[in-house]
Chains A and B, each alone.
Chain A
Amino acid sequence: MSPQHFILGAAAMILAALGMWLMLPRGRKGGRLLGGGLSALSLVAFILLGKSLGSISADLVFGTTAAVAVAAAAMAVTFRSPVYCAIWFALSLLATAGLFMLQGAQFLGVATIVVYAGAILVTFLFVLMLAQPGGHAYYDRVSWEGLLASVTGAVLVGILTMTVVRVWQPPRDERVLAALAADPEKTITAAMIQRARVLPNPAGTTKIELELAPGTAPQITAPLIAKLKGLLTANPELTGPNGQLEVVLLIRSTAPAPRHVNDKETRAGNILHPEHVAKLGAVLFSQHLIAVEVAGTLLLIALVGAVAILSHDRSQRTSPQPRDNVPIGHAAPLLRSPRNASENVIGANAAATPLLATTREPAVSSTGAPRHG
């Protein structure tokens, strides 16, 4: 991993953590725009990092779709109102479906739109209409430990991204490249070298690990190894203080390149087959038939379970309970009424008061705040 990659990745991580922390609801105004700017900068850094890993033919389309997916996801996470969260989540889902289609998974792209946007999201909005009183509730305007959560997420993303970058761009020591470039016959060019590391050795000898890209380098013979050793020892920067050098060559050049990488015809016959759904269905209903049956059973169980949860709850609540809060459908805003305010602040009256005991107080409680006048 080159230093540029490391700096770019670290900058993207720190910017993302700060930006997300500022964007998350913190119970006070201000800082959201700054957080959005930092997050956008972080997104740009991630795009640069992704572009440095090689170019895709549909680069602009992929980049735009991915940026929309990630930006909409950030909005969905940070917006205060759950309804807006759901709508941004829908946009993120649409962009993700676009990514699926770009990768040749048309069926799953359509299925994602139908299942999520068509069913789950509508149900979400239904629940929100049912359950959400007007105005932003207290719990939508604060978050648990926003900074810690942002740092956790950013560190996880950083580890995953840096792993991808490191696997794709293994270390290539400049001194080894320079030593091999001194060869007048150019037996091993820089493009063939996948990994070149100079390992420090306490014994005074320098150990060099050289890995050649599969399928590119010439046949490895004893004269070639002797020649490489000669080239490497000739470089004064590489040899240790006593002039000894041990070259460990990890060469996989004789193995042919894996056929599936960048081979259009192999993919066109299988995963990018023109009759996509037919192939997918054939695999699904032949190799995964039992799993399909189990999944169907799971859906049935979930349906029965959901009905059981709600009906059981309702049968338990036949006796009229004191309603703790504003009833469903009552448009009285929780925030603006001072009567409800003290009930919604957890531990506002006394920190030791149990939460549920606070909420079970009768609606007209003696909070000490005069109603008016």
Chain B
Amino acid sequence: MKIQTILATKGTRVITARARQSLQDVIGLLVQHNIGALVVVDDADKPVGIISERDLIRAVARGDDLARPVSAAMTRAVIFGTPQDDLASVMKTMTEKRFRHLPVMEGDKLVGIVSIGDMVKAQLGQYQGEIETLETQIIGG
């Protein structure tokens, strides 16, 4: 299965934050959209980092002022995926490198973000589907 299969059912909206938005703003966006991470973009909409719940917890633990810009707390070394990436390889990399959100680029355009939860759901769907197919064949045949 490809990452595109997951992205296909995630709508066309990609929620992003601007690098100069405050940490408080970002917390608001995560809560509003019920998500765990945001891609941070510059004024030309080019991704410059990612900010996750984990980054925010670290900022709070450090005693950062939540009025500070997101660029102060975001992760800059971001791994990007493409729609053609294989789900199994990506899951393995995310598990090994311990990150939970993968921004996906198609050329130089950010087309979405997939979370480890999305991938587990897709994998579960795949397994359920295989079981379902076998079951109907046994019962039907």
Chain B binds chain A: no
Residues of A within 8 A of B (CB): none
